Amino acid sequence: MNEDLLAPEPEENELAFEAAVRPSNLEGFVGQQKVRQQLQLVLESAKLRGTNSDHILLVGPPGLGKTTLALIVSNETGHPIRLTSGPTIQHAGDLASILSSLTAGEILFIDEIHRMSRSAEEMLYLAMEDYRVDVMVGKGVGANSIPLELAPFTLIGATTRSGMLPTPLRDRFGFTGHLEFYDATELEEVVRRSAVHLNVNHDKDSLAEIARRSRGTPRIANRLLRRVRDFALVNDHSVITVEVAKAALALYEVDELGLDRIDKQLLELLTGRYANKSVGLSTLAVALGEEADTIEAVVEPYLVRTGLIVRTPRGREATAAAFAHMGKHHHSNSTQTTLDL
């Protein structure tokens, strides 16, 4: 194996790697120009007023940098941050214990905030607005509610599904940032920085090839870069070229558009068994053996964005581009059948 392709890398764990290449300030954050400018304004205004920042909601598909931005807010304001996620907050009591232990100015980051329990959400309304929570003490007839004062804090919520947030909760965020998929140039910069961190020898075109297949998502770009690095190392290539990158990505079943196995299975269904039909999400989930949530939040956004599928009120349908990509002939059918469960 070639030793000079890669310096010893202590952290192979994906989260550790993400943390290592994560920028520490807005200046160093690649892409999301609009959200960065808006966030900069919110933070500078809070600094000039000498108060905590408004509560912040970050919306967008997975892997675009919501957690990174939350950590940057902590770094830029100098306030500590506590990380948690919606699925772990299933009782109001869970939230009350987190909120009551926050120090003044601390930032609470709740990932997947749309998956909190309803009772915790209702407690959060009051906490965000008045910095207090009502805690129930005792049980049954003798139970009574005691107001508990909280230290002023900033909440940063992240969600892939803002439509699932109740309006009263959405309205309590002073700023909502919508993160967009990255373009190829921005992704190339992300991959280039990661390649430097991994000490990978490469030619410029190979990084463009990886970026092009990364579905507009930095997390996927970094993951593909590491897989290509592994392939080059094991196959004794001292430099990652376009040919090496293509061979590695072919092995991992990532095609020219960045579609992987599950994307292609979904397109296979919509251009095959269910061609010219509108198919409901639950039908697709059963056929693919995947959670409906995963298909809706992770798989579909990119397929819709690249014009391969359309979402209609009746269900999902493959476009002519999908038939072409899958090498199938598209018969347009005016009497569309609906298959929605």
Note the pLDDT tens digit of each residue in 3-47.
343 333 334 566 677 777 788 889 889 999 999 999 999 999 999
Is residue 154 domain-shared with residue 272, that is, in the same domain? no
> Would 22 be classed as within a structural domain?
no
Write down which residue in 178, 194, 225 finishes a domain.
178
Instruction: Tell me if residue 67 is catalytic.
Output: yes
Residue 340 has pLDDT above 80, yes or no: no
Q: How confident is the model at residue 201 (pLDDT cuts 50, 70, 90)?
A: confident
Q: Is the domain of 188 the same as that of 282? A: no
298 and 219 in a common domain: no
Task: Specify the CATH number for the domain of residue 46.
Answer: 3.40.50.300
pLDDT tens digit sequence for 124-138: 988 999 898 887 777
| Beta-bridge partners for 312 | 315
- Tell whether 202 and 310 lie within a shared domain: no
pLDDT of residue 10: 38
Q: Is 293 a catalytic residue?
A: no
Active-site residue, 219 included: yes
One domain, residues 50 and 156: yes
333: confidence class by pLDDT, cuts 50, 70, 90: low
Average pLDDT over residues 186-199: 91
Q: Which two tokens stand for residue 22?
A: 């994560």
Does one domain contain both 282 and 188? Answer: no
The answer on 168 and 41 residing in a single domain is yes
> Do the bridges between strand 309-312 and strand 315-318 make them parallel or antiparallel, or are there none, so unpaired?
antiparallel
Q: What is the pLDDT of residues 59-73, one digit of tens each?
A: 998 889 999 999 999
The whole-angstrom separation of Cα 175 and Cα 152 is 17
Residues 54 and 119 in one domain: yes
Provide the pLDDT for residue 13: 63
Give the mean pLDDT of 181-192. Answer: 92
Q: Which of 216, 251, 286 is the last residue of a domain?
A: 251
Catalytic residue among 67, 159, 217, 319: 67
Q: What average pLDDT score do residues 315-319 get?
A: 92
- 219: domain range? 182-251
Which of the following is catalytic: 36, 115, 192, 219? 219
DSSP H helices, the chain, are 14-21, 33-49, 66-77, 92-100, 118-130, 167-171, 184-198, 204-212, 218-234, 242-251, 261-271, 281-288, 292-294, 300-305, 320-325
Catalytic residue among 68, 111, 213, 271: 111
Split into its structural domains, the chain has a count of 3
Query: Of these residues, 160, 217, 271, 283, which one is catalytic?
Result: 160
Residue 212's CATH number: 1.10.8.60
Q: Is residue 6 part of a domain?
A: no
On whether residue 2 sits in a domain, the answer given is no
User: Does residue 9 belong to any structural domain of this protein?
Assistant: no
pLDDT per residue as tens digits for the range 204-225 = 899 999 999 999 999 999 999 9
- In this structure, are 301 and 216 located in the same domain? no
Residue 10 counted as domain residue: no
